[in-house]
Amino acid sequence: MTPLLACQGITKRYGAILANDRVDFDVNHGEIHALVGENGAGKSTLVGCIYGLVEPDEGEVRVDGIPAAIRHPKDALALGIGLVQQHFVLVPPLSVAENIVLGAEPRWGIDFDRRKAEQDVADLCEKFGLDLDPSEKVERLSVGERQRVEIAKVLYRKAQILILDEPTAVLTPHESRSLLENLVRLKEQGLAVVLITHRIPETLSVADRVTVMRRGRVVLCREIKDLSAEQLAEAIVGESLSHPVGARGTYGGSLVEIHELDTVSGTRGLALKGISLSLREGEVLGIAGVSGNGQQELVDALLGLLPITSGTYTLGGKSLVGRSTGEIRRKGVACILQDRQSQGLLLGSSITENLFLGRSLPEERWGWVSKEARNESARERIVSYEIAAPGPETPVAALSGGHQQRVVAARELGSLPRFLIAHDPTRGLDVRAAARVRQMLIRSSVSGAAVLLISSDLDEILTLADRVAVLYDGRIRAIYGTEEVSAEELGRAMTGA
């Protein structure tokens, strides 16, 4: 049988770096083929060659057995290839419907038929279980909702070959199951699906085959039925990985107290109402919830970015209500933000500059320290946090996503925080990078910090947290011990059931 999409001998060099080394990859009609590997393994380069974002030095792409000249994404779209990228390509001032139909707008004569566009998008979202308001402006949406818009854009264009880059990274278990079930239905209708994911369970649950890349090469291509989770993880990293283990039961005294906290409306017009939480020294408290139910507002309130209208918020008995973000951070609060590229880093700046954003060295006097001293401290952190970079003056934009996240973690954890807020800290990271960041969180809690873990990955919460609070519509719906609750029970509480 001729594959619907086939890459043969794809090679791409960037100077001395061999990003793709004679890569072969194909996906058949009616097949889900998972493409997995660590950040920097070459997956993005291969997808770029398929979608016209990158021109390969050698090799070719075939569609239905015919060599394809794909020099631009519009060539790929014309061939029925659709790509849902991990980093969003949206126009924030436009509505959900306008973003989805952009470039393929329904018309009433020569005018844009807005009513039909919104109805088509509403029908699409209902069909595929995507919770979106077609008339809502994208700039008001949460990260999870923006991801759904990207997925809907591809589905709207009825592509025959769907490439999805981490499509479930910010979805709830129910939404993820719904999406994966729809991918299976699309497969049964003869479509080809390329699923790029770091989640081994979903790979094993829906994929027919899996290709593993490491350092630009294909190291494994096998049918899923012939692989275990352990074998797949070992193929991805080239070695066995140990799971992080928390220090449950070894807590100190109460450290963070939040009582009946209310806020003004946040980015989506949602306000927090009556939030009460407490964290002890050494404890990891997880926050679970459907994206858009107040997670960002909670982070903003705790960092002093969103005004608290009533209630109390103390760290070590000292009130942080009404204090500036700088004051709150100086009191010992650190945060690993959800979107490292737009919120956590200055991409055009060096590793050193990013490591000391808003931070200082102990030897600094009157706000000044030599460049050599900062670079030396940065080198120590590069080694300690295993950041793959030639040196401290390397621009962070040159690092893979996983190593960018390590820079953020090195900056925040290097300050020895008393209270660490981690908002989707492993979003979009590969197996090894995610394991490394999780180990850092556990290490921080073991050293006595209170850790608030806000994550869209329930498995992550259940593995790392001591307790989990469910956030729904700006309120804490319930708090459970993680050893006493299942993912299914949490999923029901997250949807308000």
The CATH number that applies at residue 399 is 3.40.50.300
Residue 494: helix, strand or coil by DSSP?
helix
Domain end point (choices 237, 267, 284): 237
What would the two tokens of residue 335 be? Answer: 């945060």
Structure confidence at residue 313 (pLDDT):
96
301 lies in the same domain as 169: no
pLDDT truncated to tens, each residue of the chain (497 aa)?
789 999 999 999 988 889 999 999 999 999 999 999 877 788 989 999 999 999 999 999 999 999 999 999 999 989 999 998 877 889 999 999 999 999 889 998 889 999 999 999 999 888 876 789 999 999 988 766 887 888 888 888 888 899 998 787 666 666 677 778 878 887 887 889 999 987 788 899 999 999 999 889 999 999 999 998 888 888 887 765 555 555 455 688 899 999 999 998 876 678 899 999 999 999 999 999 887 889 999 999 999 999 999 999 999 999 999 999 999 999 999 998 877 666 778 887 888 888 887 655 544 444 555 677 778 888 888 888 778 888 888 888 888 777 888 888 888 888 789 999 999 888 767 777 778 888 888 888 888 999 999 998 888 898 899 999 999 999 999 999 988 888 778 878 887 76
Judgement on whether residues 186 and 299 belong to the same structural domain of the protein? no
Residue 247 domain-assigned (yes or no): no
Same-domain pairing of 150 and 279: no
CA 303 to chain centre: 21
How many Cβ atoms from other residues are within 10 Å of residue 398's Cβ? 13
Task: Tell me, yes or no, whether 447 and 483 share the same domain.
Answer: yes
Q: Are residues 334 and 481 in the same domain?
A: yes
Q: How far is CA 470 from the centre of its chain?
A: 20
Whether 246 is covered by a domain: the verdict is: no
Specify the number of domains making up the chain.
Answer: 2
At position 98, the amino acid (one-letter code) is E
Q: Select from 177, 212, 237 the last residue of a domain.
A: 237
Q: Is residue 249 part of a domain?
A: no
pLDDT attached to residue 364: 47
Question: Residue 469: its pLDDT value, please?
Answer: 95
pLDDT in the model for residue 236: 84
Residue 155 lies in a domain: yes
Residue 110 is part of which domain span? Answer: 5-237
Instruction: Output the pLDDT for position 7.
Output: 96
What DSSP character marks residue 385? T
**168 and 301 together in one domain:** no
The reply to whether 122 and 213 lie within a common domain is yes
Reduce the DSSP state of residue 170 to 3 states and report it. Answer: coil
Do 229 and 258 lie in one domain? The reply is no
pLDDT confidence of residue 125: 87
Question: Among 427, 428, 476, 85, which residue's Cα sits nearest to residue 285?
Answer: 476
- Give pTM, 2 decimals: 0.62
Same domain, 479 and 402: yes
Beta bridge partners of 453: 286, 422
Claim to verify: residue 143 and residue 197 sit in the same structural domain: yes
Shared domain for 147 and 30, answered yes or no, is yes
Same domain, yes or no, for 220 and 272?
no
Q: Is 284 helix (H, G, I), strand (E, B) or coil?
A: strand
pLDDT of residue 362: 47
Bridge-partner residues for 314, per DSSP?
Answer: 257, 319
In a domain, 158, yes or no: yes
Confidence (pLDDT) at 367 = 53
Q: Is residue 186 one of the residues assigned to a domain?
A: yes
pLDDT of residue 40: 74
Residue 413 lies in a domain: yes
- Would you say residue 106 lies in a domain? yes
